[in-house]
A and B are shown apart, each in its own frame.
Chain A
Amino acid sequence: MTLTKRVIPCIDVDLDESGEPAVYTGVNFEELKYTGDPVEMAKRYNEAGADEFVFLDITASADGRETMLETVSRVADEVFIPLTVGGGIRTREDVKETLRAGADKVSINTGALERPALITDAASAFGSQCVVISIDAKRRYDERGEQYERIDGESCWFECTIKGGREGTGVDVIEWAADAHQRGAGELFVNSIDADGTKDGYDIPLTRAVCDVTPTPVIASSGCGGPEDMYEVFTDAGADAALAASIFHFDEYSIDDVKAYLADNGVPVRY
């Protein structure tokens, strides 16, 4: 046996109307639906056999930060599996505070694009193993895509975006992935703005391109509609871990359902 492929549930946490942290899940692209209490959900996934747990703070407001760190700490009390926390991490001090609250890894997106030195800074201070670089990739069908092999019959490239895909940065995802690895990123968390919420499967060409360009472990995200999609991203794209939210949150599949399917199809999983 060797390293298993990891199955990771993820929660998006915002503050509700009364200022309490709550999990929200996107349905039909735009609409966010109240899904549950972050601590209760963490506890449930820990017991259900999740390989890791991802907590994303989607408040994006400075005043919510204290509340979120306190929630991270309560989540950390309940999970005896690795805990990754992301959202709004811009400085080494943010990384330190998040780790101190009980996270094992931090996921950094905009903060690293704005200041790539943050990756090296965080990795040398706390170790590469806790620095996860998160990328929100969006397909662009224009002349810059000439360097890519043709995807879906068209010339296409992948752009790093911020603000949930609403703003482009001009940075090429594949180049950024290689750069992030060189700077000391321990893992790459690859989201697809195009696949997000579709349940049509992960963006395989995107995931494969990132896996091919760096030895850094890749966590595929966005688009999971069921166990077959996880199978595809592990075997066809070479992802090390696959993340899903709504299929687990809305009880369409359990962690066990997914792992049983993967194990039956020859994918090594902890099951």
Chain B
Amino acid sequence: MATPEIAVVDYGLGNLKSVTRGLERVGATVVITDDPSTLEQADGVILPGVGAFSEGMENAGPFRETLQSIAESETPLFGICLGMQMLLTKSEESERVGQGDVTGLDLIPGDNVRFDEELTVPHMGWNELTIEREHPLVDGIDGEYAYFVHSYYAVPSAQNATVGTTEYGAPFPSIVASADGTVFGTQFHPEKSGETGLTILGNFVSLCS
């Protein structure tokens, strides 16, 4: 079988090197690109991201149609951290700064909300993954630890969109997936989550084969 080619969306934000190295380590060929046709031809697409929701969506704006067409195809689309939040419909983060009209990609309907005021944010460090339902992304994973850095979390509208949860104050969705299963995301950084993260990246690469 040919090595799957994974495209990492380069929309000007974040450390793309870590995720690229992680994917290469588990056997993928990686291209970092801002070219829509390269994205559409890839065997799988990673939407990375750190930072603020509005800024992320603004930067990802030129890719909206491309990402929506990838989501409709069979090609797996994997959002990481802010990239996962952008798969949903909207975020309290943009509402707080008066940009409530900023919409996400709406590929997994739902909202991103802020942790309760009494909790220290960002939620930063290693926390445990509890798998709520099967999904090929999390084959072999349950009870492992992953590395998180975030202040908002996803609340998908459909209950079965939550693949895994993590507890911080209360359980929150830390792994989400669309109904047809080809669009999914993790709030944590698999590329910074040691062996557990590499297992998840490996599962993703297998899905793209």
Contact = CB atoms under 8 A, between A and B. Distances in A.
A80 B122 contact: no
Interface in A250-271: 270
B114 interface: no
Nearest to A49: B194
A186 B124 contact: yes
A104 B2 CA distance: 32
A104 B120 contact: no
Given A1-B167, A4-B145, A129-B149, A80 B120 contact: no
B120 A215 contact: yes
Nearest to A214: B120
A102 interface: yes
Interface stretch (B17-25, B31-39, B63-71, B95-103): B17-25
A80 B126 contact: no
Interface in B166-191: 167-168, 191
A141 to B, nearest CB: 33
Contacts, number: 68
B125 A3 contact: yes
Interface string A201-240: 0000000000000010100000000000000000000001
Is chain B's binding surface mostly helix, strand, loop or mixed? mixed
Interface residues of B, number: 28
Nearest to A99: B15
A42 B18 CA distance: 15
B147 to A, nearest CB: 6
Contacts of A187: 124
Contact of B21 (A4, A77, A217): A77
A251 B47 CA distance: 40
A81 interface: yes
Contacts of A129: 50, 122, 124, 149
A217 B192 contact: no
B50 A127 contact: yes
B124 A217 contact: yes
Interface of B: 15, 17-18, 21-22, 25, 50-51, 120, 122-128, 145, 147, 149, 167-168, 191-195, 197-198
27 contacts: A2-B127, A3-B123, A4-B126, A46-B194, A49-B194, A76-B17, A76-B21, A77-B21, A80-B18, A80-B21, A80-B25, A80-B192, A80-B195, A81-B147, A81-B192, A82-B192, A104-B18, A127-B51, A129-B50, A129-B122, A186-B124, A187-B124, A217-B120, A217-B124, A240-B125, A241-B125, A270-B126
